Structure 1
Amino acid sequence: MDLERFKQLHAYFSQQDLPEGARETEEYEAYTDAIHENEECYNWATAEKLKSKGFDYESYCCLMMADNVYSSLDDAGEIRYGDPSVIINKWDEGLYGIPIHDGGSSMVLIHYCPWCGKKIAE
C-alpha cells in the first residue's frame, strides 16, 4: 500500500466514532497490515501519534525507541514501574534500561538501541 492511500485509511480508521463493523473489512485488514509490514506507513503513523501527544520523538535515535519510551510512561509522564508491558525505560539523567520484571526495580542498563543499533547518546 502506498503512503497516500494509507493516510486516507488512517484518517478514516482513527475516528472516535468508527461505524460498527468497520474493523471487519478487507480495507481495515490492509490498513493494519501496512502498519506492521510497510516501514514508511509505520513511521508516518508513529510520528503522527507521538506528535499528537506532544512527545519529542525527534530527539531519539529511531521511532521504535521513541514509541517504546513513550509507551513506558503513564498519563503524568512518569515511568510505569512494575508494568510487565514496559520493555524500556529512559531516566531524566539520559540513561536507558530494560526492566527486569521480577517484582523489584532492577533493570539492565543499555548503551545501544535495541531496534536500530545506534549508540545511545548520554
Structure 2
Amino acid sequence: MDLERFKELHAYFSQKDLPREALESAEYNAYSDAMHENEDCYNWATTEKLKKKGFDYQNYCCLMMADNVDSSLDDNGEIRYGAVDVIINKWDEGLFGIPIHDGGTSMVLINYCPWCGEKLKK
C-alpha cells in the first residue's frame, strides 16, 4: 500500500467507535498490515500520533523508542509503574530501563536502544 492511500485509510480508521463491520473489513486488514509491515506508513502514523500528543519524539534515537517511551507514561507524564504493557521507561536523569514486572519498580538499565541499536544519550 502506498503512503497516500494509507493516509486516507488512517483518517477513517483512526476514529473512535468504528462500527464492527469496518474493523472486520478487507480495507482495515490492509491498513493494519501496512502499519506493521510498511516502514513509511508506520513512521508517518507514529509521527502524527506523537505530534498530536505534544511528545518531543525528535530527541530520541528512533521513532520506535519514542513511541514506547510515550506509551510508558500516564496522562500526567509520569511513569506507569506496574503496567504490564510498558516495555521501557525513561527517567528525568536520562536513564533508560526495561521494567521487571514482578510487582515492584525494579528495572534493568540499558545503554543501547533495543530497536535501532544506537547508544543512548543521557
User: Residue type matched to 2:117 in 1?
Assistant: G
TM-score by length of 2: 0.96
Please state how far the C-alpha of 1:19 moved relative to its aligned partner: 4.2
Instruction: Give the superposition deviation at 1:93.
Output: 0.5
What is the total number of aligned residue pairs between the two structures?
122
Equivalent residue for 1:8?
A: 8
How far apart, in 2, do the equivalents of 1:20 and 1:118 lie? 41
Cα RMSD, aligned residues only: 1.0
* 3-state SS of paired residue (1:21): helix
Deviations 1:13-71 (A, max 9, x none): 11235345111111110000000110110011011011111100111000000000000
2:115 is the counterpart of 1:115? yes
Aligned to 1:33: 33
Alpha-carbon distance in 2 for matches of 1:103, 1:12: 39
Amino acid at match of 2:105: S
Secondary structure (helix, strand or coil) at the match of 2:5 reads helix
Q: Which residue of 1 aligns with 2:45?
A: 45
1-side partners of 2:17 and 2:102: how far apart?
40
**2 CA distance for matches of 1:106 and 1:22?**
41
**SS state at 2:98 partner:** strand
Q: Provide the C-alpha distance between the structure 1 equivalents of 2:25 and 2:81, rounded to a whole number of angstroms.
A: 38
Q: Which runs of 5+ in 2 are unaligned?
A: none
1:79 maps to 79
